[in-house]
Structure 1
Amino acid sequence: MVKESFPPEIHTMTRSPSEIILKSIIALLVSRRRRLCSLFLSRLTSAISPPLLVYGWRSILHRFFYTKNQACWLIILTLLTWLPMQTTAGVVLLYHHVDTTTPAITSISATQFEKHLDIIESENFTVLPLNELVANAKEGSLTRKEVAITFDDAFISIYTEAFPRLRARNWPFTIFVAPPFVNTGSLYLTWGQLKEMAASGASIENHSTTHTHMVRRLPGEDALAWRTRMIHEVKAAEAHLAEHGFESSFFAYPYGEYNLELLEIIASLKLIGFGQQSGAIGPYSDLRLLPRYPLAGIYVGEQAFRDKLRSLALPVKPLVMKPLVDKNYRPPLHLTFLDETLNTSRLACYGPGGLMEIVQTKQSLVITPIRDIPVGRSRYNCTLPRGNRYYWFSQLWLRKQDDGTWYPEP
């Protein structure tokens, strides 16, 4: 069975002041519905020209609205469509290589990267430093269109291809670095290049020391030894970055892999963690595991990128599920919505085999795939449309090989 862990309150965002105001407005509209109804109808009927009244339009409106008792709710629903309900979010983009000669699974061409930047600009998004976007999320002051750009692994194409394009727009960005890889050859950045980019607005953050699969124990390693090694992975990288003048407060999990124990380690070290599960940052996001959109390979199309850029955090009860599955290879995902006004019947979730099954219970939606999750890393992705935007949620799963050994990295 997949265990669920609800993180302590300290790890989650505070509720947005705008959300509190919104709920107050809704309550006021409902409580004053009779007065609004009368006012609306009186204005509507007075605006109808006399010739139309000859044909009985006033009496028709009066009879329809009052006998069916629908006017008040029609007005309220109309007004609610004008209100910005949960339309603030912070989106974090994730790139690795900006190159066509590197593995496609972690690469985007320079031409397609440039198109992404053009779309960000044409959609009137504000590109923020990562620390500023996270601070806005923690304070509940995100706007409708805020985005941060990140890169993992300190590959040289960040400097040769991405940096010139970002510098030309004066846009900040973040590089998550495993320090021992710096200065190790033509594939990786040098410390001088990192410092040059930092002087132009880049921030340099922690991506572990050895870029290991942090969820995996070494042969014969017990829980305490593993925990000690993981703390060293993070703290040694932090110290190495500090030696070169980079103070880090964020951590990106290598390969996006995590377990519940790792999340607690990151919280205990007073760091904010980033995964590779899709979605936007919202008021209920877990600071140990903030989402990012990986953009590489077949997942770089322009319309798909617009959808991700515009996405909103799905307003569900905070939960962190153990991603490593054991015997149940079709683990259920339980989503409890915090906004009762949403039409959850339009929720669509995709996983192994395509569209997933969704069952409504008294307390939540239970989502299960139609096929077993495959060996390796996989995700469930759920979206719910709102206008030209989507609420978005993603859950990571890890499955070992059938003999119990870990899968090789492709």
Structure 2
Amino acid sequence: MKLVCKLILILGFFVISSVQATVILQYHHVSSDTPAITSVTPEQFAEQMQYLVDHEFNVVPLSKVITALKKKQTLPNKTVAITFDDGYRTIYENARPILNEYDFPYTMFLASKPIEQGFKNMMSWKQIQTIAKEGAEIMNHTYDHVHLIRMRPNESQTQWLTRIKSNIEKNETIIKQYTGQNFKALAYPYGEYNTHIMRMLTEMGYVAFGQHSGAAGVYSSLTALPRFPVAVPFSKMSALKVKIHSLAMPVLKQQPIESQIDKDQHRPTLTLTIDTHDIRKSQLMCYVSHQGAHLPVWINDNTFTIQAKRALAAGRSRYNCTVPSKTSNRYYWFSHTWVKPKPNGEWVKE
């Protein structure tokens, strides 16, 4: 009898632990006067923060999430971390008062060069020091918001990796100089990375975050951690609710891990092996950027592939897959980014 009870407790713990995940929200602007594609209004932001309060979410510093992920530990159910990219003044003016009202911790991923150049839409170092003293975490977004995967003409792979390593380390040094903080956590500019960069960051002792959707959990790669971008058209509460309640897809194996593809790779195939014990397998559905829903092709009991029906456009595209949980009314969520050059090998200008 004792053995049966012990097994039930172990199984129950496994099920509960497996459905827990941390949702990391990614913002840029909180303003009514900035580009909609990277903005939420102050009213929308206030509504979203109030939702977290009303539904008793556990809002934690990103550093706490990083520590848990490194140790393969789960955090309490309905855990959320709030992040901002770039360091725009609208965060100081519009988001900060709301966050302080709720006593919510948050992280600013910062690129130092635009601040040093005094761009009027960026926070000043004095403002950054203010939010750091108030408890905000300041993390790395490269020195000059560079496209990390883009090699310069005639640049060798060694030269390229040395250059971007120096770029990241320079920014980390500046952040530490002004704030005293040194988290060794990077948000990829534009959400772009490849396996060479992931390997280098691991050797440097960094974790890294993208801009691909999904919750983070024990299955997540420490150098390709997902965040949910919050901006038009996904800033309405009706669209955001499902994401805030999402679970980390239990991916046991992914092929390829690579995000960067060649100009001649038009319809890349993604293969995922997942733990299926808590998913409603028949309801798993994937989506391809600008191509809509795509049914996965199951090649065995827990492995499926997804491939675009038409050629992906140059620039960034995504494969997203979602599936409902058997034990809750929540959805598991997974996203993979593809970054593709133009047919002539050049990159899309941004």
- What's the TM-score once normalised by structure 1's chain length? 0.78
Q: Using the aligned pairs only, state the percent identity.
A: 37
Correspondence list, 1:143-158, <5 A? 143-158=76-91
- Pairwise mapping of residues 18-167 of structure 1 onto structure 2 (< 5 A)? 24-25=7-8, 84=16, 86-139=18-71, 140-167=73-100
CA–CA separation in structure 1 for the residues paired with 2:207 and 2:293: 33
* Residues in 2 aligned to 1:27 and 1:230: alpha-carbon distance in whole angstroms: 45
Q: In the alignment, what sits opposite 1:6?
A: none
Task: Say whether residues 1:189 and 2:130 are aligned partners.
Answer: no
In 1, the alpha carbon distance for the partners of 2:274 and 2:237 equals 30
Residue aligned with 1:406, SS: coil
In the alignment, which of 290, 295, 298 is matched to residue 360 of structure 1? Answer: 298
Aligned to 1:374: 313
What amino acid maps onto 1:127 in structure 2? V
Other structure's SS at 2:100 match: helix
Q: CA distance change for structure 1 residues 22 and 277 in 2, over 3 Å: closer, same or farther?
A: farther
Cα separation, partners in 2 of 1:231 and 1:303, compared to 1, 3 Å: same
Q: Which residue of 2 aligns with 1:40?
A: none
CA distance, structure 2, for counterparts of residue 185 and residue 216 of structure 1: 25
Secondary structure, in 3 states, of the residue corresponding to 1:395? strand
The 8 Å contact of residues 63 and 183 in structure 2, kept in 1 or not, is answered as no
Query: Any residues of structure 2 matched to 1:10-409 within 5 Å, and which?
Result: 24-25=7-8, 84=16, 86-139=18-71, 140-183=73-116, 184-244=118-178, 245-319=180-254, 321-326=257-262, 327-352=264-289, 353-362=291-300, 364-386=303-325, 387-409=328-350
Give the drift of 1:324.
Answer: 2.0
**SS of 1:361's equivalent?**
strand
Change (3 A) 1:202 1:318: farther
Q: Is the contact between residue 17 and residue 74 of structure 2 (CA under 8 Å) also seen in structure 1?
A: no
How many residue pairs match? The answer is 336
- Counterpart code for 2:293: L
Which deviations, in whole Å up to 9, do the C-alpha atoms of 1:317-362 show, x marking residues without a partner? 1436212222231111111112345331110111141011311112
Structure 1 unaligned spans of 5+: 1-20, 29-79
Amino acid at match of 1:98: V
Give RMSD over aligned pairs: 2.0
1:96 maps to amino acid:
H
Deviation per CA, 1:295-329, whole angstroms, max 9, x where unpaired?
11211121221111111001111436212222231
Aligned in 2, Cα 1:148/1:23: closer, same or farther, shift over 3 Å? farther
* TM-score, L = length of structure 2: 0.91
Q: Check 1:360–1:219 CA distance in 2 against 1; reply closer, same or farther (3 A cut).
A: same
How far, CA to CA, are the matches of 1:269 and 1:394 in structure 2?
A: 25
SS of equivalent residue, structure 2 residue 170:
helix
CA distance in 2, matches of 1:218, 1:335: 33
- Determine helix, strand or coil for the equivalent of 2:319: strand
SS in 1 for 2:271: strand
Q: Which has the higher strand share?
A: 2
How far off its partner does 1:85 sit? 6.4
Note closer, same or farther for the CA distance 1:341–1:165 as it changes in structure 2 (3 Å cut).
closer
C-alpha separation in 1, matches of 2:77 and 2:329: 13
- Unmatched tracts of structure 2, length 5 or more: none
Structure with the larger helix share: 1
